[in-house]
Structure 1
Amino acid sequence: MYTDSIIIYNAIGEYASLLLAGLLLFVMLYTKPRKTYVYRYIFRGNIWSIVAIILQITILRLANKAGESFNPTLFMSLLILFTLIYNGVLYHIFSYVNMMSILRRRQRKEFILMYTALSAVYVIALIVDIIASGLYEMTLEGVDISHFTRFYCMAGMVTCIICFYASVTNRSHISRVIWHTVCIIVPVEIIILCAQIFCISTNHTVFSGLTYVPVFTLAFLLFHNIPYDEQSGCNSVNALDEFLKKNIGRKKFYLMYAEFRMPTADNFINEDDDEIMYIGLNACRAIEGISPKVTMYRLENEKFVNVIDCSDEKQALKYADQIRGVYDGVKAEIKVPFNYILITEEISPEFDSPMKIREMNEHIINVKFHEQNNSYFYVVKPEDFLNFEEVYQVTSALKDIRNRFDLDDERVMVYAQPIYSVEDGAFRVAEALMRLKVGDKIYTPDKFIPIAENGGCVHALTCIILNKVCKVIESLSEYYDFDAISINVSSKELSHSTMYQDYLEIIERYDIDTSKIRMEITETAMFENYEKANDNMRILNQEGIQLYLDDFGTGYSSLERIMNCPVKTIKFDKTILYKSLDDDRMDDILSYMIEVLKKNGFITLIEGVEDESQNQYSVNRGFEYIQGYHYAKPGPIEDLKKYFARKNAF
């Protein structure tokens, strides 16, 4: 036995592999990645890799210190154990590559039988090799493990070739990114394995861990961390953002926005239904097969984007029509109701952000295809861009108003419409009306309130108009005689448990009586969440704020519920007035409702009175207050001085 070994193996590559595998394990445990069907192969494969590298380092350390204490049996056992562990590593790589295909998942039993047969061949070859020549050799220079290294490296190369063959035969069922990755990785792996065989004999360097740990690392980074969706092979939304940032304004290209509608609210890629998923993934492969210029991005479950990197409009629309044909095929093949909305547009330099592009497509869908139960293919027209640009400016302004939360924001303008008191023969109250100024344009509530409600901006708007109304009330109260000014409260506000807190805090800043503030609440909003709305209304009423029930007759009318709510004034919608003028039955119903409400202590107000005949009808039916163009049009709130009586002559 030798006292010193001349052959010294360099294990720096194995230590580097162990460090990389350890870092990968840490990231996989603590970054909460997408744990998809094939994720387990990466995780388990990385564990097997760590065990294999530790065994390899142990083998190399023993070989470097071969001396009197060298134990051939232990050393041989470690070599055999490593080759078996290495087979486990190869199994997880082979499984991961194959299971990326939904077709292979369906053939999982056959796949396991195939790999069991390959493993049996591997073990038999190992036994034959041990019997024939042994895995290592004791020489005058020390322990030579060149034969052992060649054996498992050859097994690795065979696995690479089989993986490549499996990918070629399964090309139509795997995504483009997987195919490209396999085409790059397999040759690189074979080159590294050949280099390992060469280096073990020449300079005794071992770096075989670098042939399998990077494979798991790359798979994790590509499909379970950020860029690609592992099932569909689509790029992620982050990748789409990067593409758009890089290319908008620099070159001409087209984009197809795809939204799918199914009863389950999930799109065709659904792991709970293999058949649907199989059809969907085939559609993804078919779209990728149209042209290398077509790239798919997955925004979320039911929303995709296809970037058509083509400057020729005719060719781009041809690709778009081919994509549409793929979705029509899905619609014909799938067993559940399936509809799509496809929007194709040229991306112009004006759309300078990915968010703006997505919002434009959402806007077109909401305007043109909201609640439509069919499939649509739409090519964006120039006027669509112009219409959206206006909406986008309003949306941006509203978000900025919300974020700044400046109670004196000049973009929120306050108009007011005086309300005529029949009994007093004068204007005693007024309704504050909001306007939004964006640039040189002034928008009415019907244009921006729905946007504000959807974007979570309405509370800021209500606080701003309340602050401005309180300021006007404080100014008018000293010289003018009036009862109150009302403001409208959005339906979105009424369902929040603490909606009143900011309101009361704003009112307390001013030296005014809370009875001078009144709030109008829509009937529909009140009945969307009756209990919560009733609680909020009671709190406001206890603070001295009188409540109006606005738009009465347009929602879910229920006299019983209304009488149990702390509202004082019932404001009838103008549509009730117009119908009653033309329909005797509606006239009888209106007269009955007015009688019942007044008998129970409610004040009645009618809006939308535009001419003398409507005015006379309203007076005859007993309305106490009348609002409409017949008496006064909305104007800047400062103009209320023209309508309210002065307290004293001055």
Structure 2
Amino acid sequence: MPYSSWGDFICGAFVLIIIIFHFLNKSKKNTALKSVLFILVSVLIFNVLHGVSDLLVYNKVTLKLALIFKYLLIIVFSIIASGFEIYCLGVIKDTTKILKWHYLILVLPVLWNIIWLIINKITNICFEVEGNTIIYHVAYCLLFLCFIFAMIYMPIMCLVYKRGIYPSLFKVGLTFTIFSALFGIFQFFFSFFINNNVFFTSVFLTLSTAYTYLYSRNDLINIDQMTNLYMRNKCMDDLTASDGASVYMLEIMRFHHFSSFTGDQILIEIVNFLKTIFNKYTMYRVSSNQIIVIVGKSDDISKISLINQEFRKPINIQGDDYSIDIKTSIIIKKKNETAEHTVYLLEKMINQIKDTNEVFIVYSSEMKRKLEIEENDTNKIIKAINKGSVVPYYQGIYSINDEKITWCEALARLNVNGEIIPPSKFIPILENHRCVNKLDRNMLCQVLKELKSMNDSGTRVDVKGISINFTAEDILNQSFIDEIKQMVKNQEIDPNMISFEICESVIISNFQKAKEIMEELNSYGIKFFLDDFGTGFSNLKAVLSLPFYLIKIDKSLLDAAKENTRNHQILDGVVKAINSIGMKTLIEGVETKEDVELVKNFGVNYIQGYYYHKPSNMTELNKTIEEKV
């Protein structure tokens, strides 16, 4: 069998493997992949037929038939290759808005074949091999030169429009061009010494197939399969190349309140409507509830009123109506501004109106100043957290039985350039930047240092213990638990002096893991308080099955008990149920003498609130305890 036939069959097998791999892949609904598969099948058929034609040439009976067949395949080959090149630069055009006249260069292989057929006499269709070898070689060489020209043209366009092309596509495109050009040059210089189509046809089509498939996979990664919108990575690439364009961000408020199924259906309904409004523009789903639209150099905001008008009406999902609140921010992408910063500003702007009746906000000089101040404050807070500038303030916990403060809770304050910042100003920022765990670690570290300092100086600590708040992320992290033990040991603090306050979210996220961690730390001496009981999950059975020392009942239940008898009875029953199994109870937010009398009637063990003590440093807390005594 000739070498070219082997090459064609190998190339065909390679294409077949890619097709099989695609069908084994779960994601096969993408439109781009369907077009790619059509190209792959065409290439597969061509390579098989080309290999067959080579075999026929070596049979004298089928020689003329083989030559006709072979020349027809040259035409088919050029059409497939040209179509592929058009597809490749179409990809570049899609992301960089290249003008359509560039396509003309890509049809050169097809044009050459048409000219070649015209200058060859009709009688040459059934020619003898010896008489037409030169024409045959010239046809192939010129055809390949056209391909090489397109290969050179493609990387030039890639380099010119590099900012608008995916990095992976850019690298694959250049690699494809280099390899194809090398094989093309090899074929041109050695075509008269070896079989004129040895390897080149196979190599070219194989690389073409690989390049096309890799791009389609890259494109699929950037498409949200539910909405068929591009996702965040593609949005960032396109924003980078969209200087001066108006950019819209639409955010669905309280989207997490919907169930998974309902949320998906609502999102699909919203996207379908937005496609009718922004039908000329590309949309992107950048997060679960955020959609970005790049609308070009336009500041027309009339579309926002259409969106607002449409979604004033509830969306019906399987017979149930759901009210939707969509907020929109609009900004003009500035030159040299990063895509990440543009999205950051859009999100910040929506945060400005999320709790208002406003439905959209446009970036302005006033908004810029406001965001700059907010960003400056945020940077100061993050910097302070990273420096460990956390200041513990302590609020006393009053024991009804002992009639004095016997415990205290460590509450975080932040020292920002000498100014003490309350938690209401920095906790939301830390939550947005996922830095709460740093706050927790710093708080524990500072409390242990203060206790160590007091012990070393001989200062008496007039409380049984200090409670510190921790998040679910911290408590469920085994490495952090080991770190806690080491910190307590290093500061030579009795573990019984420390207790951790956790919310019900810890129980919800991983009940079994939470139980194991609590039992481990209990055996070490650290107690657990359940914070804000009654504001969240409130599964009394689950709570009572965990080794809590004390249950802190939220102020909202106390306020509700003051409203009517029914709520009063509910709170009374909850307290009795907790006390009956040996756990201690505490009611938070006690601020008046009337609150104190009411709470005592419930039979709770502890009271916490401004009535007995406002948060202060440890020295002031000790003074308060001494004065009360």
Q: Same fold (TM over 0.5)?
A: yes
Shift of 1:345: 1.1
Task: Name the structure 1 match of 2:127.
Answer: 137
Q: SS of 2:412's equivalent?
A: strand
Task: Name the structure 2 match of 1:435.
Answer: 413
Structure 2 residue 225 is matched with structure 1 residue 225: no
CA distance in 2, matches of 1:94, 1:337: 49
Q: Which amino acid aligns with 2:301?
A: L
Deviations 1:19-55, CA, capped at 9 Å, x for gaps = 9x9999999989x997534425435635754885798
Q: SS of 1:542's equivalent?
A: helix
Structure 2 residue 69 is matched with structure 1 residue 80: yes
- Per mean C-alpha deviation after superposition, the further-off stretch among 549-558 and 568-577 is 549-558
Alignment map for 1:263-412 (pairs within 5 Å): 263=261, 266=264, 280=272, 284=275, 287-289=278-280, 294-297=281-284, 299=286, 303-310=290-297, 313=299, 316-318=300-302, 341=326, 343-347=328-332, 352-362=337-347, 378-380=360-362, 409-412=387-390
Shift of 1:320: 5.7
Alignment map for 1:549-560 (pairs within 5 Å): 549-557=530-538, 559-560=540-541
Inter-CA distance 285–74: structure 2 relative to 1 (3 Å threshold): farther
CA distance in 1, matches of 2:419, 2:65: 85
Inter-CA distance 244–536: structure 2 relative to 1 (3 Å threshold): same
CA distance in 2, matches of 1:621, 1:44: 76
Structure 1 contact 59–79 (Cα < 8 Å) conserved: no
Shift of 1:572: 2.4
Alignment map for 1:50-199 (pairs within 5 Å): 52=46, 73-74=62-63, 76-77=65-66, 79-80=68-69, 83=72, 87=76, 133=123, 135-138=125-128, 142-143=132-133, 145=135
Structure 2 residue 515 is matched with structure 1 residue 534: yes
Structure 2 contact 584–605 (Cα < 8 Å) conserved: yes
Task: Name the structure 1 match of 2:236.
Answer: 241
Structure 2 contact 399–607 (Cα < 8 Å) conserved: yes
CA distance in 2, matches of 1:390, 1:40: 50
Shift of 1:95: 12
Structure 2 contact 327–354 (Cα < 8 Å) conserved: no
Task: Name the structure 2 match of 1:254.
Answer: 246
Deviations 1:213-247, CA, capped at 9 Å, x for gaps = 99868865765435986999977644542454466
CA distance in 1, matches of 2:85, 2:501: 62
Q: SS of 2:407's equivalent?
A: strand
Alignment map for 1:538-549 (pairs within 5 Å): 538-549=519-530
Shift of 1:467: 1.6
Structure 2 contact 390–446 (Cα < 8 Å) conserved: no
Q: Which amino acid aligns with 1:225?
A: N
Structure 1 contact 33–224 (Cα < 8 Å) conserved: no
CA distance in 1, matches of 2:284, 2:503: 42
- Per mean C-alpha deviation after superposition, the further-off stretch among 298-307 and 416-425 is 298-307
Deviations 1:239-282, CA, capped at 9 Å, x for gaps = 5424544666xx5x421124578956558998xxxxx99x95x9
Deviations 1:64-83, CA, capped at 9 Å, x for gaps = xxxxx995834642541563
Q: Which amino acid aligns with 1:601?
A: G
Shift of 1:432: 0.8
Deviations 1:159-214, CA, capped at 9 Å, x for gaps = xxxxxxxxxxxxxxxxxx9xxxxxxxxxxxxxxxxxxxxxx9xx999999999899
TM-score, normalising length: structure 2: 0.61
Q: How many residues align?
A: 519
Shift of 1:545: 0.8
Inter-CA distance 86–47: structure 2 relative to 1 (3 Å threshold): farther
Structure 1 contact 401–460 (Cα < 8 Å) conserved: no
Shift of 1:385: 6.5
Q: SS of 2:517's equivalent?
A: helix
Task: Name the structure 2 match of 1:465.
Answer: 443
CA distance in 2, matches of 1:233, 1:269: 12
- Per mean C-alpha deviation after superposition, the further-off stretch among 52-61 and 518-527 is 52-61
CA distance in 1, matches of 2:336, 2:613: 43
Deviations 1:450-507, CA, capped at 9 Å, x for gaps = 6655654333332221122111122223421331111012244455566633322332
Task: Name the structure 2 match of 1:613.
Answer: 594
Inter-CA distance 381–22: structure 2 relative to 1 (3 Å threshold): same
Structure 1 contact 48–85 (Cα < 8 Å) conserved: no
Q: Which one has more relative contact order, counting CA pairs under 8 Å at least 6 apart?
A: 1
Inter-CA distance 217–527: structure 2 relative to 1 (3 Å threshold): closer
Q: SS of 1:635's equivalent?
A: coil
Q: SS of 1:480's equivalent?
A: coil
Q: Which amino acid aligns with 2:246?
A: Y
Shift of 1:568: 1.6
CA distance in 2, matches of 1:230, 1:590: 48
Shift of 1:543: 1.2
- Per mean C-alpha deviation after superposition, the further-off stretch among 558-567 and 437-446 is 437-446
CA distance in 2, matches of 1:95, 1:208: 14
Task: Name the structure 1 match of 2:157.
Answer: none
User: Any stretches of 5+ residues in structure 2 without a counterpart?
Assistant: 91-119, 147-164, 166-187
Shift of 1:578: 3.1
